[in-house]
Chains A and B, each alone.
Chain A
Amino acid sequence: VELRYSEADEAFRAELHAWLESALAALPPQPPRDAWVERRKWDTDWQRRLFDAGYAGLHWPKEYGGRGASPTEQLIFYEETARARAPYVGVNFVGTLHAGPTLIEEGTEQQKADHLPKILRGDEVWCQGFSEPGAGSDLASLRTRAERDGDDYILNGQKIWCSFGQIADVGEFLVRTDPEAPKNRGISWLILPMDLPGIEVRPLKTVLGSSEFAEVFLTDVRVPVVNRVGDENDGWRVTNVTLKYERGTAFVSELVDSIRLAEELIPFAREHDLDVELGRCIAEFDALWALTKRNVSQSARGTTGPGAMVMKLAYSEARQRFGELCLKALGRDALHVDDNELVEERLRTLALTIAAGASQIQRNIIGERVLGLPREPR
């Protein structure tokens, strides 16, 4: 057990810190939440700056233009950028963190050449078409059909929760290529250009009143078979390869923000005699920060432990307890959302226990994979 970072890691931090100071000084103001065209430009401009400075694709291998950073360097990067209040990954999320790594692992040379450089430079924005109205926690039951017609697939179906669907150039889509096979064996992974005829994108308004997500309707969309990544009907496995790139850093930015907000709440909590409750929240966030470091330490050793499995459940539940406390401390000052970060955050964080594996699914996974309890029906 050692808390100190190595000299090399500290040098990486110092260099990044200095770069962030100058880069952020030149940053234009963030566009309004639903100004999608401007937001895309703001996020992709930042991606371009990261690229020019050598920080794009931090966790991608060097041969694909990434930095090949160690898990500890990734931790430092996310920590420093969050502390500096630098732009979050934004519309580049699916491309840099999901589709890109998937192509690196499973794509053809042509697919890699077509997309990886563009993703890194911020020239191409991706969305994700996985969930469907009838396939949420049970994702493998998805029904969007892809029927083979010569060198094309013909797509029909409906997707939901496509982040940034309204401004994406390309989507990673899971489709059913074999309706007869067991449900997770008949799925394929496709690169879908979002400007193809037959694709209709409708923004989906969330509890925030905003539309970061979209529904995507596919009607006789013709997409070339060469856009498939991996073998036909092997898409379920392809989807999971991106997990190899997870180094325990998924919640670093969230935690840095949570700790900052909790510290800012201290005077309000004092006023309302909520010191004990807030102190417990801070202790939990600090513990999760320690857990993050522990998970990254294990990653750096090439191992993984139960800590990586519990992080999402523990963080999302803790963050919601903190959100409730914020509303309690604010009282009737919580009745407006404009210029009221804590209230907006309370709304945003309602999604944490649902998105990317609901807490109930997380508990099933922990119970079965870590504790070895009997499996759920599938």
Chain B
Amino acid sequence: MDLELSDDQIALRDGIASMLAARIPIERVRAGFDRAMFDELAQAGVFSLRADGFSWADCVVVFEQLGRFCVPGPLVPSVLLGDGRIAGFAFVQDIAGKPAWIEHLDVLDVLLVPGVSPRAVDPREVEAESSTWPLDPCTPVARVTSLPAGEPFEFDSETWRGFPVLVSALQLGLADRLTELAVQYAKERVQFDRPIGGFQAIKHILADMLTRTEVARAAVYSAGAALDDDPAISASGRTTLGAKIVAGAAAIANGKAATQVFGGMGFTWEVDVHLYLKRAWVLETHWSTGDDCADMLCGVAGSPG
């Protein structure tokens, strides 16, 4: 039993972090996801992790860093499809009267639609109306009122059960980076002749941010390892649901907390905090929301065995 990263995983973490620091700084994040970014990430091996034999626990390490650097794009479906295409995920089974919002539609090679008859849709055939003001400026969304029939697509359950765990790893990365940003600012920003981080009113917010992050980290690492350990764990297994719930809550709460610590500057477009918070809100809707996961968790924890 060892829930600490191995030396190889630490090297993997540091390697991807230095690549992201050099190639995808926050200025590039702000410019949004495009094929060039996909190609660079692919070259670094991000989208072939599973095919290259990396464990789920390894993938978690990499996706935590992608979250820390606020890297935009349909990262999780693309790595799970793993065939070199930019893959989007519809998050709705069928559009019955209620329009759906599809992310990154313009850059997708394929749009995967889950459901009773899952299918792969050619994004060029999708009629959509792009939002002029997406919540997360790095996650463009388009409103779709109908989806073409497309081709039948089989979701390999062994692979796709990793979806919520990788989302939770991104959320963990957001929570971690938000803590770092807020702490840094609280040490520099002086009011009433003192760095504001010296006031308990601020210090305690920051301590809570770290606490949420560390608790989420344990849950997410554990969920990744659980997938490796037991092929029978599904996308609605207890450790998976727990990770999605806790990491999602940490990312959003830390986004709100960081905004508060940054004060007026936290409400500006210029300061990066809002990008992380908005991404946290986007990811909360991925797969199942934290509340839906919590509801399911009650069912899983309540059944014997």
* B298 and A282 contact, CB distance less than 8 A: yes
* A1 and B296 contact, CB distance less than 8 A: no
* B302 and A294 contact, CB distance less than 8 A: no
Contacts A2-B225, A287-B246 given; does A263 touch B301 at CB 8 Å: yes
In angstroms, Cα B206 to Cα A370, docked, is 11
CB of B74 within 8 Å of the partner chain: no
* B301 and A282 contact, CB distance less than 8 A: yes
* A371 and B206 contact, CB distance less than 8 A: yes
CB of B241 within 8 Å of the partner chain: yes
In angstroms, Cα B196 to Cα A181, docked, is 32
In angstroms, Cα B229 to Cα A1, docked, is 10
Q: Give the total number of A-B pairs whose CB atoms are below 8 A apart.
A: 178
In angstroms, Cα B195 to Cα A374, docked, is 8
In angstroms, Cα B293 to Cα A113, docked, is 56
Give the residue of B1, B187, B216 whose beta carbon is less than 8 angstroms from that of A293.
B1
CB of B218 within 8 Å of the partner chain: yes
Which secondary structure dominates where chain A touches chain B?
helix
CB of A278 within 8 Å of the partner chain: yes
* A283 and B194 contact, CB distance less than 8 A: no
Nearest Cβ on chain B to A363's Cβ, whole angstroms:
4
Nearest Cβ on chain A to B254's Cβ, whole angstroms:
13
* A72 and B1 contact, CB distance less than 8 A: yes
Nearest Cβ on chain B to A346's Cβ, whole angstroms:
20
Give the residue of B215, B225, B241, B298 whose beta carbon is less than 8 angstroms from that of A291.
B215
CB of A91 within 8 Å of the partner chain: no
In angstroms, Cα B195 to Cα A298, docked, is 33
User: Digit string of A260-294 for contact with B (CB within 8 Å is 1, else 0)?
Assistant: 00110011011000011111101110111011011
Report the interface size for chain A: residues with CB under 8 A from the other chain: 56
Residues of A within 8 A of B222 (CB): 3, 287, 290, 293-294
The stretch that binds B, out of A94-102, A134-142, A206-214, A306-314, is A306-314
* A290 and B298 contact, CB distance less than 8 A: no
CB of A373 within 8 Å of the partner chain: yes
* B207 and A294 contact, CB distance less than 8 A: no
Residues of B within 8 A of A290 (CB): 3, 218-219, 221-222, 239
Cβ-closest chain B residue relative to A75: B1
Give the residue of B194, B204, B216, B245 whose beta carbon is less than 8 angstroms from that of A367.
B204
Task: Tell me the A1-19 residues at the B interface (CB within 8 Å).
Answer: 1-6, 9
Give the residue of B187, B225, B290, B295 whose beta carbon is less than 8 angstroms from that of A275.
B295
CB of A300 within 8 Å of the partner chain: yes
Nearest Cβ on chain A to B134's Cβ, whole angstroms:
28
In angstroms, Cα B203 to Cα A284, docked, is 23
Cβ-closest chain B residue relative to A370: B210
Contacts A6-B1, A291-B215, A298-B4 given; does A286 touch B238 at CB 8 Å: yes
Give the residue of A4, A298, A368 whose beta carbon is less than 8 angstroms from that of B1.
A4
Nearest Cβ on chain A to B37's Cβ, whole angstroms:
28
Give the residue of B9, B204, B225, B245 whose beta carbon is less than 8 angstroms from that of A283.
B245
* B229 and A4 contact, CB distance less than 8 A: yes
CB of A360 within 8 Å of the partner chain: yes
Cβ-closest chain B residue relative to A367: B203
Residues of A within 8 A of B106 (CB): none
CB of B18 within 8 Å of the partner chain: no
User: Digit string of B1-39 for contact with A (CB within 8 Å is 1, else 0)?
Assistant: 111111001000000000000000000000000000000
In angstroms, Cα B5 to Cα A266, docked, is 34
CB of B183 within 8 Å of the partner chain: yes
* B197 and A373 contact, CB distance less than 8 A: yes
CB of A184 within 8 Å of the partner chain: no
Nearest Cβ on chain B to A338's Cβ, whole angstroms:
27
In angstroms, Cα B203 to Cα A362, docked, is 11
Could you list 28 A-B pairs, sorted by A, with CB under 8 Å? A1-B2, A1-B4, A1-B9, A1-B221, A3-B225, A5-B1, A6-B1, A9-B1, A72-B1, A277-B294, A279-B245, A279-B298, A279-B301, A280-B290, A286-B219, A287-B216, A287-B222, A287-B242, A287-B246, A293-B218, A363-B200, A363-B203, A363-B207, A371-B210, A372-B183, A373-B197, A373-B198, A373-B203
> Which B residues are within 8 Å of any A CB, using their own CB?
1-6, 9, 57, 183, 186-187, 194-195, 197-198, 200, 203-204, 206-208, 210-211, 214-219, 221-222, 224-226, 229, 238-239, 241-243, 245-246, 249, 290-291, 293-299, 301-302
> Which A residues are within 8 Å of any B CB, using their own CB?
1-6, 9, 72, 262-263, 266-267, 269-270, 275-280, 282-284, 286-288, 290-291, 293-294, 296-298, 300-301, 303, 305-307, 310, 313-314, 360, 362-364, 366-368, 370-376
- Give me 20 other A-B pairs in contact (C-beta within 8 A), A278-B298, A293-B218, A366-B210 excluded: A1-B4, A9-B1, A263-B302, A275-B295, A278-B294, A279-B298, A279-B301, A282-B301, A286-B219, A294-B4, A296-B1, A305-B214, A306-B210, A310-B210, A313-B207, A362-B207, A363-B203, A363-B204, A372-B187, A373-B198
